[in-house]
Amino acid sequence: MSNVTVIGAQWGDEGKGKIVDWLASRADVVVRFQGGHNAGHTLVVGEQVYKLSLLPSGLVRGKLGIIGNGVVVDPQALLAEIARVVAQGLPVSPDTLKIAENVPLILPVHGALDRAREAARGDRKIGTTGRGIGPAYEDKVARRAIRLCDLAEPETLDWKLDELLLHHNTLLAGHGAETFEKADLLAFLNDIAPKVLPYMAPVADLLEAERKGGSKILFEGAQAVMLDVDHGTYPFVTSSNTVASNAGTGSGMGPAAAGFVLGIAKAYTTRVGEGPFPSELFDETGRVLGERGHEFGTVTGRPRRCGWFDAVLVRHAVQVAGVNGLALTKLDVLDGLDEIRVCVGYDLDGETIRRFPAGPAAQSRVKPVYETLEGWKESTRGARSWAELPAQAIKYVRRIEELVEAPVTLLSTSPERDDTILVRDPFDS
């Protein structure tokens, strides 16, 4: 199978947008299979910069874009994003964008509950975006979600809203927050239905036809493995499974759909929001990494926490997500450093371990065990072949391969699409 699945191998913001855009030129279909508008990809195409949260990146390359059933969709955010990119000259229509008919919707009540809960947590806040993603996923598994197909059935919508508001208004009242009226939500949905229903399609059938026709399908993940609701730094995680095995479940295809799994990792580590971060730097080097890397969240605008490359957590991501190869990004940010450290293990209460502990208390206590490598003075920015890289930079990449037990398939040396060193084309695997 010539499919490729792209996932983050750290805590997100690894530069997936550029890699997905680069691969999309080789694909026929690009599919989003999980997450919501709490994640973002930045694509730089010539002089144009696209910031996408829900729309599949392949639309920028004129490829068919699909939003699978594993995504939770805020219809207002979707329409706003479509309007924004159309204003930039990117055509988006029901011919180029298909949304699964069974996709759950994010309603205003979900965002209100998300923000009320986060405020109530105080010092123990998770760091959510407050956009309602978690509550929408809760409704999905509790079987009370409003799905896209429900907008075409007024009688279904009526009784489903009764059940949904019975639950959410109770919780909102308990938090001292404003509750919602059924008539207001019903009016909101009836107004937005004719604007989003034209995009609705039987995505599972469509993808099966594409598979039988030999199409190359690119699955585009959001967030990253260390934010996976099962395998990440729980509870400081997102509300969906971000690993590659969810590509089939979140799109209506079988378990073999993922194909070649490409994990994206920065040459250092960043994180937005709360939660443990063993290799985080609070010194001048951390500040330099943040400034050079322009480390601000695509969606939130929050400054990212920066630290050395953590081989323990990336090896964990490689293992649980079935990563076949890595795309290593932002190597150029490390240019000019005298020495570079790599976290190769953790000290947990005096014992060295080489795995990420599951418990939050243990996660907060681990201290990084570093290996120090020699830096390089030459610039790697814009390099497009191994021959253009300094010897020490190549040694750094090779050492990462050894530590995470996965080969580097792609190497990115700037935000520009063509500043990429291709070791192995994932679609030819």
Contact 203, 68 (CB under 8 A): yes
Task: Say which residue, 224 or 300, is predicted with more confidence.
Answer: 224
Whether residue 55 sits in one domain with residue 126: no
Whether residue 387 sits in one domain with residue 339: yes
What domain count does the chain have? 3
Q: Alpha-carbon distance 374 to 249, whole Å? A: 44
Q: Is 355 one of the annotated binding-site residues?
A: no
What range does the domain containing 234 cover?
A: 4-100+200-260
Cis peptide bond prior to 235, omega within 30° of 0: yes
85 pLDDT tier (thresholds 50, 70, 90)? very high
Residue 401 to residues 279, 394, 397, 428: CA-CA distances in angstroms?
18, 11, 6, 21
Whether residue 86 sits in one domain with residue 192: no
Catalytic residue among 37, 41, 98, 168: 41
Task: Say which residue, 327 or 60, is predicted with more confidence.
Answer: 327
Whether residue 240 sits in one domain with residue 114: no
**Residue ending a domain, choose from 260, 291, 309:** 260
Instruction: Give yes or no: 13 in active site.
Output: yes
Dump pLDDT digits (tens) for 13-63.
Answer: 898 888 888 898 889 999 999 999 977 777 777 778 888 889 998 898 899
Q: What is the pLDDT of residue 49?
A: 84
Catalytic residue among 13, 74, 150, 228: 13
**Residue ending a domain, choose from 210, 240, 260:** 260
Contact 376, 335 (CB under 8 A): yes
Dump pLDDT digits (tens) for 149-182.
Answer: 999 998 889 999 999 999 999 999 999 999 999 9
Task: Kindly tell me if the per-residue pLDDT of 1 is higher than 70.
Answer: no
Q: Is 16 one of the annotated binding-site residues?
A: yes
Dump pLDDT digits (tens) for 358-388.
Answer: 998 999 999 999 999 999 999 999 999 999 9
How does DSSP classify residue 235? T
Query: Which are the contacts of 373, defined by CB distance < 8 A and separation ≥ 6?
Result: 339, 340, 341, 342, 392, 395, 396, 399
What's the CATH number where 91 sits? 3.40.440.10
Whether residue 250 sits in one domain with residue 171: no
Q: Give the number of other Cβ atoms within 10 Å of residue 349's Cβ.
A: 9
Whether residue 256 sits in one domain with residue 143: no
- Mean pLDDT, the chain, whole residue set: 92
Q: Is 121 one of the annotated binding-site residues?
A: no
Whether residue 383 sits in one domain with residue 321: yes
Q: Is 132 one of the annotated binding-site residues?
A: no
How does DSSP classify residue 302? P
Q: Is 301 one of the annotated binding-site residues?
A: yes
Q: Is 56 one of the annotated binding-site residues?
A: no
Instruction: Give yes or no: 41 in active site.
Output: yes
Dump pLDDT digits (tens) for 235-266.
Answer: 999 999 999 999 999 999 988 899 999 999 99
Q: Is 299 one of the annotated binding-site residues?
A: yes
Task: Kindly tell me if the per-residue pLDDT of 298 is higher than 90.
Answer: no
Q: Alpha-carbon distance 320 to 296, whole Å? A: 27
What's the CATH number where 125 sits? 1.10.300.10
What's the CATH number where 394 sits? 3.90.170.10
Instruction: Give yes or no: 294 in active site.
Output: no
Residue 226 to residues 202, 345, 387: CA-CA distances in angstroms?
31, 16, 33
Whether residue 249 sits in one domain with residue 180: no
Catalytic residue among 37, 98, 110, 140: 140
Q: What is the pLDDT of residue 163?
A: 94
Whether residue 235 sits in one domain with residue 290: no
Whether residue 190 sits in one domain with residue 138: yes
Whether residue 61 sits in one domain with residue 11: yes
> Rounded mean pLDDT of 213-217?
95
**Residue ending a domain, choose from 181, 196, 211:** 196
Q: What is the pLDDT of residue 415?
A: 82
Dump pLDDT digits (tens) for 392-411.
Answer: 999 999 999 999 999 999 99
- pTM value? 0.93
3-class DSSP assignment, residue 175 = coil
Whether residue 297 sits in one domain with residue 318: yes
